[in-house]
Structure 1
């Protein structure tokens, strides 16, 4: 048995779904799931114990499903944020990849959203950085790529997600103070200005990675 959460589901046949799960041991996987009156329902944001059987074309089947912990009482901005972390997990993480750090990071983020909504922005930034770290796409946050010198606290730098930080402006790229870049590397969001800069940076960075496959859950925040 391993822990798992439902990220996304789509109808397949009557009372059946193809679901994306984030699991403790197998990373992001797809499963075939059939609803049953007598079985535990599989719903978003709850944590389950599951055992799996292999199927065809990387599609798994659930042998056993038990509810471990409930987080399905989320509302308003907290709910939108939870949908957002589900979406970026689906769109950025490859299937059946080694993601042992991601599952505990996901649960920590979800728990913070549920229990401490005032820390919502910090929780989201930490999770985004954890996913990017898992992807291996975080460049050096300590040096100016052009000069190969340490970042200066009072200098604005522009970010290229394929290379790192430059003093020369890059078209469309966000500009961040050197001291904030260092704080982001340490995941220190105690400075509200750093937290705001990180939000802008993460939004732009993730957009570069997903390309035309845009993050739709962000639209929910605009409807508030």
Structure 2
């Protein structure tokens, strides 16, 4: 039987369960993503502590895939609105869809906390936060690619050349005059530098394709929120 008494966690999603309880999906620092029943949690006080994106100190116990949350205390209540909120839902949905339950992923936990804190602070644009998170998530799940080296020649990416992405291989040079990704943008992505608009556009297209390959046919609901926000 699993029993954990105090663990940092982030609430990803909750849903009602029976008459007075709920099931909370939380991402924990040392135990990965877990689903846990929270008994009697639909009262106002408990429900407010389990709002999505709250950071907690939590305890749980149980056997199998569904745990029972035995204690929880909110230690952070991020104030998000508009595209910040849509971006937070996107981050949470990616983790829910791509990270298997109980898979230990401390770097992803840290990245989620950083993303939520950065969205709330507003020091970085939503686009920069999301591209940074997507890159780390893909790398940590084993789906990352090399942005600084050509896949076929193994030479360093030339900032003056253009490249295309070959699935499951990497970037290869394209013939002069053909469309492709700028080498300068690829090197910027390798350095996590999204200051240029062209780099952000390239990163979004690349990461979207890599994520879609893992997500399958079922679309992300949060993407419609992001799209709606970009039109307003």
Same fold (TM over 0.5): yes
- The CA RMSD measured in Å over matched residues stands at 2.0
Cα distance in 1 between the residues matched to 2:174 and 2:104: 37
Report how far residue 192 of structure 1 moved. Answer: 2.4
2:31 alignment counterpart: 26
Report how far residue 18 of structure 1 moved. Answer: 2.4
Report how far residue 62 of structure 1 moved. Answer: 1.0
Report how far residue 16 of structure 1 moved. Answer: 2.2
Report how far residue 36 of structure 1 moved. Answer: 5.1
2:3 alignment counterpart: none
Cα distance in 1 between the residues matched to 2:180 and 2:21: 47
Residue 53 (structure 1) aligned with residue 61 (structure 2): yes
Structure 2: tracts of 5 or more residues without a match: 1-5
How many residue pairs match? The answer is: 218
Do the aligned partners of residues 81 and 63 (structure 1) sit closer, same or farther apart at CA in structure 2, a change above 3 Å counting? same
Q: Is the 8 A contact 1:26 1:96 kept in 2?
A: yes
Cα distance in 1 between the residues matched to 2:198 and 2:129: 16
Cα distance in 2 between the residues matched to 1:98 and 1:127: 17
Cα distance in 2 between the residues matched to 1:29 and 1:159: 35
Report how far residue 167 of structure 1 moved. Answer: 2.6
Q: Is the 8 A contact 1:27 1:100 kept in 2?
A: yes
Report how far residue 178 of structure 1 moved. Answer: 1.3
Query: What is the 5 A alignment of 1:1-224?
Result: 1-34=6-39, 35=41, 37=43, 40-41=46-47, 42-55=50-63, 57-71=64-78, 73-116=79-122, 118-168=124-174, 175-223=180-228, 224=232
TM-score normalised to structure 1 length: 0.89
Report how far residue 118 of structure 1 moved. Answer: 4.8
Q: Is the 8 A contact 1:139 1:161 kept in 2?
A: no
- Cα offsets for 1:25-66 (capped at 9, x unmatched): 1111111123153853211111111011123x3111111111
TM-score normalised to structure 2 length: 0.86
Q: Is the 8 A contact 1:40 1:67 kept in 2?
A: no
Cα distance in 2 between the residues matched to 1:160 and 1:24: 34
Q: Is the 8 A contact 2:38 2:70 kept in 1?
A: no
Q: Is the 8 A contact 1:40 1:66 kept in 2?
A: no
Do the aligned partners of residues 164 and 8 (structure 1) sit closer, same or farther apart at CA in structure 2, a change above 3 Å counting? same
Cα distance in 2 between the residues matched to 1:186 and 1:98: 26
Cα distance in 2 between the residues matched to 1:155 and 1:93: 35
Cα distance in 1 between the residues matched to 2:201 and 2:37: 40
Cα distance in 2 between the residues matched to 1:45 and 1:219: 19
Report how far residue 117 of structure 1 moved. Answer: 6.0
Give the secondary structure class of the aligned counterpart of 2:152: coil
